[in-house]
A and B are shown apart, each in its own frame.
Chain A
Amino acid sequence: MKKLKLVMVGNGMAGVRTLEELLKIAPDIYDVTVFGAEPYANYNRILLSPVLAGEQTIKDIMLNDVDWYAQNGITLHLRKKIAKIDRVRRLVIAEDGTTAEYDRLLLATGSTPFILPVPGKDLKGVIAYRDIQDTNAMIQAAGVHKHAVVIGGGLLGLEAANGLKLRGMDVTVVHLPAWLMERQLDPTAGKLLQKSLEDRGLKFLLDKNTKEIVGDDSGNVKAIRFTDGLEIPAELVVMAVGIRPNTVLAESAGLFCNRGIVVNDTMQTYDPRIYAVGECVNHRGTAYGLVAPLFEMAKVCANHLANFGIGRYQGSVTSTKLKVTGIDLFSAGEFMGGEGTEEIVLSDPIGGVYKKLVIKENKLVGACLYGDTVDGSWYFKLLREGRDITEMRDTLMFGESNTGRPGDTGHEGFTKAAAMPDDAEVCGCNGVCKGAIVTAIKEKGLFTLEDVRKHTKASASCGSCTGLVEQIIMATAGGDYSTSSKAKPVCACTDNTHQQVRDAIKANKLLTIADTMAFMEWRTPDGCATCRPALNYYLISTWPHEARDDPQSRFINERAHANIQKDGTYSVVPRMWGGETSSSELRRIADVVDKFRIPTVKVTGGQRIDLLGVKKEDLPAVWQELGMPSGHAYAKALRTVKTCVGSEWCRFGTQDSTEMGKQLERMLWRMYAPHKVKLAVSGCPRNCAESGIKDVGVIGVDSGWEIYVGGNGGIKTEVAHFFVKLKTHEEVLEYAGAFLQLYREEGWYLERTVHYIARVGLDHVKKNVLEDAENRKALYQRLLFSLDGEPDPWHEHEKARVDTRQFAPLA
């Protein structure tokens, strides 16, 4: 089959990213030709500032070298600017006469610096700051001249000024508004920034309007003059007053442009054969100049170029960070506030810290941080998700680590990536050091958390170091690391989110994984190891006794009903109601250990006994000879109900906690859930069963029982929320059962109760369980219905659909 011809005009980050995405999903449908006006292959434009500052070299910032194009069969024309598009003959024509025909054309012409229309703008020594050539010109000028003036006190201007200062020039920044970076900072933060840049030796002229640039006899710039008559010397003038989408070519070809090439959600221009991505486009009225939205566009565009026809770009929320080493600054959203907004402000001018959070209708809508930006990514996440912050309002200002969530583990207590040495371990699960992450980001050109996870495994296991990894990406890959506002799909097999899948299964009474995948147009024939277990759970929890469990879609532990260990053997944990056992159970356990030569016997944290190192073929016999119920220590299900001895023995006990625990465990065992579920019951406020860090914690007091929900003792220690105080055992069963059923029906797969509550809000849970008695009883009944007749997989193999063939190896 003859290949189609794809021509790309513009060889920058957005365009090349589109090609990369296209090669990933459809490597064979196009012959690709690329035209770039610059003499370089694809480089990371964001990192020109560190190059100017002498912290990196051009070589460091290359993303794709010339060999990459050759290896992928792409014809690359460097130094060739396209002069004309002939849409009738489907031809592009370069200034030097080179032509290329296209079936589809991709415009990625980027943006051009805005040049102030003042006399003298064409003098030698007046430059913009956009590409490698400009950067080299500045480096060269810094070597021979003394006075530099940067017009524009925005992100780019300040980075240029900082770089020139570091290269020894006397630099003055001229800015028309009254404070720096007025599009990213409020006046207070702008003044703080000015102060710390002044301490580094930069000079500022604010509220100044440039009248003309003055040249000498040979046409070189020598000074700059303002409308108020002031004149200062300048042998180098850098114009950094803004960028404009580069639409010259598109407009000359008659494509509709309006401050950018206008595209729809599929990145298509008004000519259906022509697509456009990057800084040159106007999408729903916005032109983006940051990398994350551009990459999002690239992905969508590639999807359509590959004829998949399903991706949609729906806009991005962006954040900003200044790349001047040693200055921490972050802003996002509506940081200036405005009508109907409230502000929480922390200001410590001596300590150089300023933080402003803008809140509207109980949601964070803007943030402006100066001096301490550790929580920038967290605020940005809250902002994107539009989460209700009512409950954390009083501690919101103090950041994620102080919002009632201390106890982060696994990375030596570090919360600031910048303070970590290169050999410090960031990811304690996979043993990844900061240096390894930085190297991977630089060498492989990674920009997103997902990419970094794939390549380095950092934060890919328990996820507790995600915030640190995000900080490292921000600091290394460029300041404008940001993420799309779109909710995340379940996995790469679908664009649907967990919520959409849950809703569809319920609304359309889907009963099998195959039907769900067909209904929701899964891209893969039988999903993957991420989506299948989720779908299986959603089906059986939504339609108990109707949807059939699919063991092949369960992780091995739930298929073999034991925990796989690193050497391929299994561990077996029999259930001991409320942590209580007897001499005959202990005798049977001892006999089984001897008979099957089980190497390790260990007491667990959940008050049971773990038999480790059992061979898979021995599992059925071990279960049978133990003669005890399955402990479900292997499952996303009820694990244990930990108890203290309570009033039966304890001289302090006020309630019979062991009995309460046994009743809860007998009701809830065999209960599958989005994630594991742990309970505890203490007999008095001394709380020996540690009820404060359990999914449901019960604490006996003299007058009854206090119920706590959403605690967690794992990756992050999370203290449970007080939920309700009750009188009787029956009430405890009903309220705890109803809460857990709500979680079972609404939780996303692998979402613990703490994260579920954080997502839906404790108020929502209270409304459903506490305030609406009828609803509580209905939830409780649904729980009992779904657990009714649920088999014990250790003893009722057939009913529990345990494939016993797995225990017999073939010879």
Chain B
Amino acid sequence: MTQQWKAVCKVADIPALGARVVRRAAKPDVAIFRSSEDKIFALLDRCPHKGGPLSQGIVFGERVACPLHNWNIQLDSGCALSPDEGCTQRFSVKVEEGTVFLDAEELSTLAIEVTTE
């Protein structure tokens, strides 16, 4: 089971109250966030409202404010705060000895762009 975890960066590589973008072969990008208490979260880098890049938003508590229209998205669930409605895909995260891991299986399967040949 441990093999599916993929190291993406160190906790220190993400600014506190900030985010980094994780590119993946199967688009779109994933955003990883770091709270002031060094908790790490991963969400699809797309706001459920109009697809804004959540990685670029202001992080506070365990939420991020989307940079496009200021929807507040909860980092643990990926869901918008009421009265806004909608959720974005969340991804599993593991932190071990300061290294952040994402699930490779999830990265290659969840919320991927469907292309028609």
Q: Which positions in A face B, CB cutoff 8 Å? A: 454-455, 524-529, 532-533, 551-556, 559-560, 564, 566, 568, 803, 805-806, 809-811
Contact = CB atoms under 8 A, between A and B. Distances in A.
A428 to B, nearest CB: 15
Given A556-B56, A564-B56, A528 B20 contact: no
Contact of B58 (A533, A564, A809): A533
Given A526-B17, A526-B36, A564-B68, A810 B8 contact: yes
Contacts of A560: 56
A524 B61 CA distance: 7
B113 to A, nearest CB: 14
A810 B83 contact: no
Nearest to B28: A568
Given A455-B83, A568-B56, A809-B21, A529 B70 contact: yes
B30 to A, nearest CB: 9
Contacts of B61: 524-526, 528
A532 B58 contact: yes
Interface string B4-44: 00001100010111101111000001001000100000000
B60 A527 contact: yes
A560 B67 CA distance: 12
Nearest to B13: A805
A568 B58 contact: no
A803 B20 CA distance: 11
A526 B60 contact: yes
A811 B104 CA distance: 12
Contacts of B59: 552
Interface residues of B, number: 31
A529 B57 contact: yes
Contacts of A526: 17, 36, 60-61
A524 B63 CA distance: 12
A67 B72 CA distance: 29
A553 B68 contact: no
A810 B23 contact: yes
B53 A568 contact: yes
21 contacts: A524-B60, A526-B36, A528-B60, A528-B61, A529-B60, A529-B70, A533-B58, A552-B16, A553-B58, A554-B58, A556-B57, A564-B56, A564-B68, A566-B50, A568-B53, A806-B20, A809-B20, A810-B9, A810-B13, A810-B20, A810-B21
Contacts of A811: 8, 22-23
A803 B56 contact: no
Given A533-B58, A556-B58, 19 more contacts: A455-B83, A526-B17, A526-B61, A529-B58, A529-B70, A532-B58, A552-B17, A552-B59, A553-B58, A555-B58, A556-B57, A566-B52, A803-B15, A805-B15, A806-B20, A810-B9, A810-B20, A810-B22, A811-B23
Contacts of B56: 556, 559-560, 564, 568
Contacts of B13: 805, 810
Contact of A809 (B17, B29, B60, B65): B29
Contacts of B58: 528-529, 532-533, 552-556
A285 to B, nearest CB: 38
Nearest to A527: B60
A500 to B, nearest CB: 21
Interface of B: 8-9, 13, 15-18, 20-23, 29, 32, 36, 50-53, 56-61, 63, 65, 67-68, 70, 72, 83
A767 B50 CA distance: 48
Q: Which of B18, B63, B72 neighbours the largest number of chain A CB atoms within 10 Å of its CB?
A: B18
A564 B9 CA distance: 25
Contacts of A455: 83
Contacts of A555: 58, 67
Contacts of A524: 60-61
Contacts of B23: 809-811
B60 to A, nearest CB: 5
A805 B12 CA distance: 11
Contacts of B32: 810
A528 B65 contact: yes
Given A552-B15, A552-B58, A568 B52 contact: yes
Contacts of A564: 53, 56, 67-68
A753 to B, nearest CB: 24
B74 to A, nearest CB: 13
B75 to A, nearest CB: 13
Contacts of B53: 564, 568
A807 B56 CA distance: 11
Contacts of B8: 810-811
Contacts of A529: 57-58, 60, 65, 70, 72
Contacts of A525: 36, 61
Contacts of B16: 552
Nearest to A811: B23
Nearest to B36: A526
Nearest to B58: A529
Q: Which of A529, A806, A811 neighbours the largest number of chain B CB atoms within 10 Å of its CB?
A: A529
Which 7 residue pairs of A and B lie closest in terms of their CB atoms, listed nearest first?
A529-B65, A529-B58, A556-B56, A568-B53, A809-B21, A552-B17, A556-B67
B60 A532 contact: yes
Nearest to A554: B58
